[in-house]
Structure formats: C-alpha cells, structure tokens
Structure 1
Amino acid sequence: MSRFDEPAAAALLTPEAVRERSQELYGLGLDGRLQAWTVQPEAMAATADLVAEVVRVNYPDLRVPFHARWRHFAVGGHDRWAALRATLPDDAADRARAAFDLVILSVLLDAGAGMAWRYREAATGEEHSKSEGLAVASLVMFAADAFGRGRADAARLTDVTAADLASGFQAGPDNPLVGLEGRAALLQRLGRTLLAAGLDRPGALFDILAAQAEDGALPARAILVTLLRHLGPIWPGREVLAGINLGDCWRHPGIRRADASAGLIPFHKLSQWLAYSLVEPLEEAGLRITGLDALTGLPEYRNGGLFLDMGVIRPRDPAVFGAEHAPGSILVVEWRALTVALLDAIAPLVRARLGLSAEAFPLARVLEGGTWWAGRRLARERRADGGPPLRILSDGTVF
C-alpha cells in the first residue's frame, strides 16, 4: 500500500487544496472575520487597471509567455539557456532531463535573496539582484559543472555546502545573501531524497512524468502532485501527517474539517513555481500540457505586495510594517491565502480589460504579464529599496 493512501494527507498535496482552503480564508476576510487583515474588494477595479496597464507595457502584442523560471534566464536580453542547450545532445529526452536538472535546482535556490545582495555576471559585465540574479548565478554554476558534469548528480547534491553556494553566488560579508545555509541544506536533502527513491538526478522526474501521459497529454496538476510526492522529504521542519511531509503547509484555526487535515492550509509556492517552470521542457519534448489553470497563483511577496500596496487588503494593526514575521504566523498565513484567492479574482478582470479569453490568457500568463511585475513596480515606487511591504523571516526555503 502506498503511504499516499492516507486520504487527508494526500488531499493536501494537490493544487485543489491550495485553492479551496485559500478561498475559505478569503471568505472569512470578506465577512470581516480574519484575525490580521481586512478586505476591501472595491479596490480590485483599480488594481486590475494597473495590472492590465503593466501587461500592455511589458507585452504590447499581448503575446505573454507562461510565468516560469526561464524568463529570468533571459534577463538583459541574453538567452542564456539557448546557448547552454546548444551544447547538449540532440536527443529530446536527454535535453528535457538536462532542463529539469537546471530548473529544479534554480527554482529551489530562488527563495528571497534579501535587499543587499548583487551578482555580477562575468560574461556580460551585468549586475543583477533578486530572482534574476539568483537565476543567472545558478545557471552559471550549472554550466560550470558545479552540480555534476553536464548535469545535476544526486550524489553531488548531498555534498553541496553553504560555502559552495556563497562562492557561486559571490556572497560574503560585503554582499550578504540571506538563507545560504537553508539553501545548501535544501539541495542536500534533494540529493538524499532522490537517491532514496533510486533516482540519480533531478532530471529523472522527466521520465516519471512522461510515463503518466496519455495520448501525449499530461495534466498540469499531475506535474505538481508528482513533485510534491517525490520531493516532499526535502522540506525542513514542516507539518507532517500520517508520516508524510506536507511541505509548504501551515496552520490556521479558520480551516475546519472533520478529519486530520483540520487547521491545515497548503500553499506549495516553490513547488508550483517549479511546476509552471517544467511545462516548457515537457512541451519541447513533445508532450501536451492540459488544464494549466488547475495550478494556483503564487503566494509570494510580489503578488501579495500588489494587493497590499493597492489597498485591497489592509492589516488590522499598522505596527506590522515595523516588525519581522515568521512564515507560520497568522499574519503571513492569512496574507498568502488572500493572495491566492485574489489572484483568481483578478484574472477575469484583467482579461476583460485586455479583451482576451481565459483560454488565450490563462492564470500563468496573468502572473507573468502581469501581477508579479505590477507588485514589483509598486514596491519600487513606494519603498527606497524596492523590497516587500512586509518583512518575513526567511530560511531560504519558503519565499
């Protein structure tokens, strides 16, 4: 019997649980019954206007790609992945495995970098920060065989140290990168988890997903569920139910159930970011990804900051802006749940302003076009360092 036969735990490892439970807390917010936040839905129209404006500025032809890590690899107009891919074998499956190796590592290293860190790329002389800097640094490390020769080896990942990452990310006392120890530990657990499952590299997940396709079609939710089931043990110190690590899953008393999942709300932010980022290598390998909108919006500080900065949500206590908050605090859990639900709510408003259908402009394009960039724009306009509106204590594995 599979350990995932425990229904309460298995249900939490799905995008449906993220959406359903976030909507429940959103409902409490609309009724004025959240502990930390109030909701002002009348501010959504102006927020949708801003997002639509940002989409048109970023993509005047409205041909928006999916929200994925691949966008960051092309920062500055340099298609770094295309250059690296040209050195790989012609076999489509081999290329897909290599793409999985790179993007899985890069996404797992993509937690918040802090506001001070910068990365200078030797090949271009460009300096990048935040997600783009982490993307370029991770790609350069991958190309230099830092994680294995021409690939990522599970055995090598078990030996990655914070010093290795500090060297690759150019981090040090004068260029601090938050969560280095947490990132290194995450890669070590990834290596051990893969080896325990008999997998020699992250790219082996391509074969596991390809085997689930029927008539060449693979549901997007299957990507996420597979990631959560195979990589669950990599997440540190999180909720465990029936012996199953639930990953990015937290507690809130407003989630009521008659089973062991009562009080639990999953977000699976990095895993969903990774699921979105695996769509393109799967499609390039000849698979057709269906049901992309089964995945949810990403509850991180750019999307969450958009709704906070636009006044759609407001903290009950203004003093929260002067403190640091743990990811498991009621304030942060409610903020993230509201973000997931509000992304679903704003998507049709943005489509209406752009004159596009849900089929032509799924949530993955709304995010990329879109809400993430609008959140960043507001952050730059309103805060000198361009940082998020709330300060979150990070161990390098959540945001």
Structure 2
Amino acid sequence: MTPAATLRNTAEIRARSQHLLNRARTGDSAWFTVHDGAMGAAATEVADLTAARFPDLVIPFHSRWRHFEAGGVDRRTELEGLLGDLDRPGRARAMIDLTVVSVLLDAGAGPDWSYRETETGLKLTRSEGLGVASWHAFTAGNFSSDPDHPLQADAAGLTGLDAGALATAFQLGADNPLVGFEGRVDLLRRLGAALADQPAVFGTPGRPGGLYDLLVTDAGTPTVAAHDILSALLSTMSRIWLADNAIEGEPLGDCWQHDAVPGAGATAGWVPFHKLSQWLTYSLLEPFGWAGAQVSGLDALTGLPEYRNGGLFLDTGVLRLRDPGWAERGWTPADELVVEWRALTVALLDELAVLVRERLGVTAEQLPLACVLEGGSWAAGRALAQRLRGGLPPLTVISDGTVF
C-alpha cells in the first residue's frame, strides 16, 4: 500500500486523531487543554437539541439533502418530477451528479452572502443557501454540456464552467460576496478534468454518477459499503483538491502536517481528515439507498472536522486555547493549531456520540454517528455560535472554499 493510500483510510484518521487527543489530555499540546468534565454539558446540549428537533428520534443522516429541504420545501420530489421516466439507476446517477457538485460548492459561505429563492421568496444563508443555490444551478443545466440533457454534471460542462454564469446563479455582487468563490469554480473545473481522464470509472461523457455503476455491481441484490464510497472518491478525486499536499508525487487532498503524529515511513507527521470527501460520502448514502441499494458500515466514517463540530467543543469548554488571544487572529488550514483542533474534534465526536446515546436512551444501531451529527452536534455547534457571536465560529480559518 502506498503512503497516500494508507492516509485514505478512516481507521488511520481515527488513530492519528486519538493520538493527538491522548497527548493533549496529558498536557503536552502547545495549543489546547482538554477538560473532560465539560463533556457532560456538551452531550446534554446535543441531546436536548436532538430531542427538540426530532421528538420521535427518527433522525435522518447528516447530508447535503437536508439543505435541499430548506424552508420545508420538498425539492427531492421536484427533482424526481423533472427526471420523468428515468429508471432507478438513471435517477441515482442524476442525484449523485447533483450531490457531488453541490457538496464541492459547500464550504463556509461567510457572513455576508445570501440567496433569495425566486419561487418561494425564501432568503437563505450559509449551507442552506449554498445547497438551494446549487440545486437551482443544477436543474437549470449549469453543469451539463448537453442542452438535451440538462439534469446532469459532465466533464465538458465542468471543465468549461462559466464563472460569470455561476456567479449569477449564486446571486453574487459587490454587496453579496461569497467567500472562496474562485476556489470553488477552480475545484469544479478540476473535477471535470478528473472525470474526463477516467472513463473506466465515470463513463462517457464523464459523470460523477458513474460511481453508481462502479459500486453497485449486483443489480439483483444491490449493496454498497459506506467506506467503499469514500475509497472510490478518494482514489479518483484526490487530484482535484487545491491543497498541494503530496507524498511521493501523489496528491493527498485534505491531509496536513503535525510533527507530533507518528506513522509508518513517509506517512509520519501527516494527519488525514478528508472532510469534504466524507461529507460527500454521507450525502451520497441516500441517493444509493433511494435506488434500492442496501448501504452498510455507516460508522466506518468519522465525524466531520469543521468549524461547527469543532466550535461545539470550544464553546462548551471541552477544549480551551492555551492563549485566548489566538481567537482574535486568522489561521490557515495548514497551521498546526487548526490541524490539531480538527483532529481533537474527530476523536471527541466519537466519545460524544456515546454520551448522547446514553442521554437519549438509544443504541448505536438506532443512532449511528451520521444521525448524531445531524441531530445533533453540527446543529448545536451552530446554535452556540449564534448565541455567543452572532453565528461566527470561535476560531477564524482563512479558507479557499475547499476545506471548511
């Protein structure tokens, strides 16, 4: 196994994140102290919000499809109607196409951007706004090169993506700026190139929906494992990420260096996260399931190391900065403080999930991590940020729009 392949496994993400959490607990972190006595309060915050949002505890996956439901609008049913008489695999390919481009457009929008949906009059911000804007861009054919088949994303449509047209679709303007917009456009164009270069995976004209045909090999009893979806994404799309992290010339994507992390050979000192790829995997579980595939192994995926989940632990006091002044400056994804914050978040989310289940009286099978996140930790992190800082995260990470 190559060093890059080693770092594409969620077991490695968990092991390296746990190492940094153990180290921080012994007081050896230069950046954070860990206060386990606050975990109970954090779990109660998450459990209470989960019960308030989902009184029957029937909780959907943490997924981009929740953002497509913004304002209580059933956009999935609308899309089903637009897809007409396509068979189940064809519908799955279209929904995979939509999910991939939408997730790649989903990083922090910043506090000054919003989207007004013409049909409903809804004014949406942040992840919901990005989700609904990308849904409309997709249904308008912005990502397709074929006017006769607008409801797809294909290699030519993405490599030739018109930044001006996408800016119009997202209602950008001098008074409505979207953080990292150029990085998002570049990311989609790079996706188009990757699709075109791998016809054995993505077919012709090169669509993300080719993942369905790659992974669902038995039409009689279709099944797919969550980690297999992630592995396929990482093996075919690691080249698209703007971060130039690489080992032996092989791109790593969302992996970052931390000198305290052990590892075999060239992997030493690297902490993998693959946050957007895992968010994409979570978001693809439903399109595969709706097509009739049995999805297994949900908890092989990790919690998502982004500023809502990470903010939850800072805002509840589980994590504290050694220097409170660090909250006043900007950081980059490569800074060791941010790498460690994200790793501690991954490890703590696994522990938090156990405590949340205890408070709600459910099992891990009834409430997998994908539902704890949705119930959940992400929403609680956002609510705390709103309560304390008008929605701003506790740490400022300067992003190109492809990590956070």
Smaller-chain TM-score range? over 0.9
Is the Cα–Cα contact under 8 Å of residues 216 and 223 in structure 2 kept in the other structure? no
- Counterpart for residue 366 of structure 2: 360
Counterpart pick for 1:75 among 64, 70, 73: 70
Corresponding position of 2:255: 249
Aligned to 1:118: 114
- Residues 326, 212 of structure 1: alpha-carbon distance in 2 compared, 3 angstrom cutoff: farther
Shift of 1:214: 10
Aligned-partner SS, 1:260: helix
Any idea what SS the aligned residue of 2:167 has?
A: helix
> Tell me, what secondary structure is at the counterpart of 1:218?
strand
Select the residue among 125, 129, 132 that pairs with 1:129.
Answer: 125
Tell me which residue corresponds to 2:231. Answer: 225
| Residue 159 (structure 1) aligns with | 160
Identity in percent: 53
The aligned residue for residue 392 of structure 1 is 397
Q: Within the alignment, does 1:350 sit opposite 2:356 as a pair?
A: yes
Letter of the structure 2 residue corresponding to residue 168 of structure 1 = A
For 2:248, give the aligned amino acid.
Answer: A
Mapped partners of 1:161, 1:303: distance in 2: 34
Partner of 2:28: 33
SS at match of 1:128: strand
Q: Residue in 1 aligned with 2:39? A: 44
Shift of 1:242: 2.9
Q: Does 1:319 align with 2:325?
A: yes
Q: Which one of 141, 145, 149 corresponds to residue 145 of structure 1?
A: 141
* Residues 305, 388 of structure 1: 8 Å contact kept: yes
- Decide whether aligned partners of structure 1 residues 260 and 103 sit closer, same or farther in structure 2, where only a CA change above 3 A counts: same
Provide, for residues 25-69 of structure 1, a one-character-per-residue CA deviation record: whole Å limited to 9, x for no partner: 111111111121111011000111111000011101110001100
**How many angstroms does 1:213 deviate by?**
9.1
In structure 1, distance between residues paired with 2:258 and 2:321? 17
CA RMSD for the aligned pairs?
A: 1.3
Cα displacement string for residues 190-216 of structure 1 (whole angstroms, at most 9, x for unaligned residues) = 000110111311111111121389953
The residue number in structure 1 matching 2:147 is none
Aligned residue pair count: 393
1-side partners of 2:142 and 2:341: how far apart? 37
Q: Report the AA paired with residue 384 of structure 2.
A: L
Give the 3-state SS of the residue equivalent to 1:119 in structure 2.
Answer: strand
Residue in structure 2 matched with residue 238 of structure 1 by the alignment: 244
Select 2:105's aligned residue among 103, 109, 112.
109
Which residue is equivalent to 1:303? 309
Q: Distance in 1 between matches of 2:192 and 2:403?
A: 19
Q: Distance in 1 between matches of 2:370 and 2:191?
A: 26
In the TM superposition, residue 218 of structure 1 has moved relative to its aligned partner by 1.9
Q: Given the superposition, is the C-alpha separation of residues 317 and 9 from structure 1 closer, same or farther in structure 2, using an over 3 Å criterion?
A: same
Distance apart, 1:122 and its partner CA? 0.3
Q: Give the counterpart letter for 2:215 in structure 1.
A: L
Identify the range of structure 1 (9-18 vs 273-282) with the bigger mean alpha-carbon deviation. Answer: 9-18
Unaligned stretches of 5+ in structure 2? 145-149
2:95 to 66, 79, 99: 99
Closer, same or farther: CA 275–338 of 1 in aligned 2, 3 Å? same
Shift of 1:234: 0.4
Give the match's secondary structure for 2:224. Answer: strand
Distance 1:243 1:42 in 2: 44
**Distance change >3 Å, CA 328–CA 214, structure 1 → 2:** farther
Q: Distance in 1 between matches of 2:264 and 2:47?
A: 41
Asked if 1:24 corresponds to 2:19, the answer is: yes
5+ residue gaps, structure 1 = none
Task: Check the 8 A contact 2:142/2:166 in 1, yes or no.
Answer: no
Q: Structure 2-normalised TM-score?
A: 0.95
Q: Distance in 2 between matches of 1:219 and 1:390?
A: 35
Structure 1: distance between partners of 2:396 and 2:194: 31
Letter in 2 for 1:325: W
Once the 2 structures are TM-superposed, how far is the Cα of residue 11 of structure 1 from its aligned partner?
1.1
Q: Are the aligned partners of 1:212 and 1:218 in contact in 2 as well (CA < 8 Å)?
A: no
Whether contact under 8 Å (1:351, 1:358) holds in the other structure is yes
Per-residue CA deviation, residues 72-130 of structure 1 (Å, 9 max, x unaligned), is: 00011001121112221330000000000000000000011001101000000010000
Judge conservation of contact 2:243–2:254 (CA < 8 Å) in 1: no
1:309–1:341 CA distance, 2 compared to 1 (3 A) = same
- Summarize the alignment of residues 81-92 of structure 1 with structure 2, pairs less than 5 Å apart: 81-88=76-83, 89-92=85-88
